Amino acid sequence: MKADSKSVGLDMLNGTLLDKIIMFALPLAASSVLQQLFNSIDMAVVGHFAGKEALAAVGSNSSVISLVVTLFVGVSVGTNYVIANYIGSKDSLGIKRAVATTSGVALVSGFILLFLGIGLARPILEAIDTPADVIDLSTLYLQLYFAGIPFIMIFNFGSAILRGMGDTKRPLYCLLVSGAINAVLNVLLVVQFGMGVMGVGIATLVANAFNALFIIRILQHEEFPFRLELSNTAFHNKELSTMLRIGIPAGIQGMVFAIANVTIQSSINSFGSSAMSGSAAALNYEHFCYFIIAAFSSAAVTFMGQNLAAGKRERCRRIFFHTMWLCVVSCGVFNFLFTWQETFFTNIFNEEPEVHKFAYIRMEWVLLPQFIASSYEVASGALRGLGYSSLPAVLTVVGTCVLRLCWVHFVIPSHHAFEWLMAVYPISWVVTGVMVLLAYYVVCRRKGIY
């Protein structure tokens, strides 16, 4: 039996592209936003019912979570690439091996992160100078989050399988249900029973468990060769090596990003809990907008992977053009909207004037120009779809992460102002965008796409 993209999801190999890219990217962006809403709802509830210290404890953990999780989430990009490539070349047995290998990687990575996250939670928070009035609550939330990390890995890798076949809608449906569960449990445990940070941590864990169950159920009822059979979970060398070749550079890129952001978070912490709370509130909207960027980057990986395998190079050129302009415009609109209505959006988390001051500084310096990051993210996704994963990873690490680390260590000590700290974001985006776009053009010239 041949794997046919028409029968399993969007037909990425034939017909129009613009509408299909939108149909792929929008549910994916919405799914990521819903995942982030787990954390945002946690923050909103504790910010209003447990104080700014609880808000800081929950919100400041995002960079630490990214530090530990991103390597394995990056490997899921490899899953996306492998399955898309097999669909393009109509290799059904390869798809079946990829699904079996993906399930094995999800289980192993989930349990590795479970033990690492719980054991390293407090040492990491101490290393980034988390204030004494926040650290106990931060540790509690972080350990509860990592107690549910196997569920998160199962959902992310399961979603990558569906994404490779062009299906981004069913993961969204899963998240709609689990998001409602998270919200109800937050209100029940925090507002009704006064459990504070522990309550929001438990709510997130339970919601993630439902997510994993939903995605497993979907894959178990999928048609051959995409059906998940837990008894056949295995590691197939060819598929695993390709997943790692594409996924590990993406994961390392994310980890180095996280290290740079943890370093920046350490500097934010030095301004006190109001700065931590304001920055955490603004960061939520950066996450929402980044998910738009990531969705179009993922679309570039999947569409490029299928069409390159099918030998359709002219379509690859159009895929890049459409994903780039759609990403810049849609992200830019939300960047402007959130910054324009800063008071309304920050009030969702906390109404203290000092918190608002720091939130607006971050929105003005980081959120408003965030669309610039589309340049290197979409170009990186396109390069990965063409089979080049290490190149964009290295360029992004140098242009963004190394620059941010140097900025924190050499500029901030002599200019200790929150505005100076935030300025490194747009500067690093411009530098990285120029380098990755140039690399994409050179690779495409070599492959005869341009």
DSSP state string for 152-214: HHHHHHHHHHHHHTT--HHHHHHHHHHHHHHHHHHIIIIIIT--HHHHHHHHHHHHHHHHHHH
Predicted confidence band of residue 2 (pLDDT cuts 50, 70, 90): very low
Predicted confidence (pLDDT) per residue in 268-289, tens digit: 888 887 888 888 889 889 988 9
Residues in the chain: 450
Distances in whole angstroms, Cα of residue 297 to Cα of each of 197, 338, 377, 383 = 34, 22, 6, 10
Segment 61-70 shows an average pLDDT of 67
Q: Look up residue 317 and give its two tokens.
A: 């050129």
pLDDT > 90? residue 432:
yes
Confidence of residue 361 (pLDDT cuts 50, 70, 90): very high
d(CA 332, CA 47): 28
Tell me, what's the pLDDT at 131? 76
Over range 251-256, report the average pLDDT.
Answer: 75
- Check whether 42 has a pLDDT greater than 80: no
d(CA 298, CA 103): 20
Tokens of 83: 């399955």
Would the pLDDT of 119 be above 60? yes
Q: Please report which confidence band the pLDDT of residue 62 belongs to, taking 50, 70 and 90 as the band edges.
A: low
Question: What does the pLDDT read at residue 4?
Answer: 45
**Residue 52 — pLDDT band, cuts 50, 70, 90?**
low
Percent of the chain with pLDDT over 70: 91
Does residue 3 have a pLDDT over 60?
A: no
3-state secondary structure of 130: coil
Q: Can you tell me the distance from the alpha carbon of 11 to that of 307, in angstroms, rounded to the nearest whole number?
A: 10
Mean pLDDT of 251-258: 74
> What pLDDT shows up at residue 212?
93
Other C-beta atoms lying within 10 Å of the C-beta of residue 140: 18
Q: Are 222 and 159 in contact (CB under 8 A)?
A: no
Higher pLDDT, 245 or 254: 245
pLDDT digits (tens, 9 = 90+) for 387-417: 898 899 899 989 988 899 899 989 999 888 9
- Distance spanning both ends of the chain, measured CA to CA: 35
How many other β-carbons are positioned within 10 Å of the β-carbon of residue 9?
Answer: 22
Q: Cis link prior to 225 (omega < 30° from 0)?
A: yes
419 is written with which tokens? 């505005």
Residues of the chain with pLDDT > 90, as a percent, come to 30
Per-residue pLDDT tens over the stretch 222-232: 888 888 888 87
Lowest model confidence (mean pLDDT) among 78-87, 200-209, 211-220: 78-87
Residue 197, both tokens: 């940070």
Residue 67 has pLDDT above 70, yes or no: no
Tokens in use for 397?
A: 């690490």
Indicate if the pLDDT at residue 450 is higher than 80: no
CB 305 within 8 A of CB 81: yes
- Predicted pLDDT of residue 421: 94
Based on its alpha-carbon atoms, the radius of gyration of the chain, rounded to whole angstroms, reads: 21
- Maximum CA extent, the chain: 65
In the structure, what pLDDT confidence band is assigned to residue 109 with cuts at 50, 70 and 90? confident
Q: What is the pLDDT of residue 9?
A: 61
Which among 256, 266, 284 is positioned nearest to 366, based on CA atoms?
284
Give the per-residue pLDDT at 71: 67
pLDDT at residue number 328: 97
Would you say residue 37 has pLDDT above 80?
A: no
Q: What is the mean pLDDT of residues 162-182?
A: 85
Per-residue confidence (pLDDT) for residue 83, from 0 to 100 = 86
Backbone angles phi, psi at 359, to 5 degrees: -60, -45
Lowest model confidence (mean pLDDT) among 68-82, 122-136, 298-312: 68-82
Q: Is 23 helix (H, G, I), strand (E, B) or coil?
A: helix
What is the arithmetic mean of pLDDT over 364-376?
Answer: 96
**Each residue of 312-357: pLDDT tens digit?**
988 999 999 999 999 999 999 999 999 999 899 988 887 888 888 9
Averaged pLDDT of the chain: 85
Residue 115 in this model has a pLDDT that exceeds 50: yes
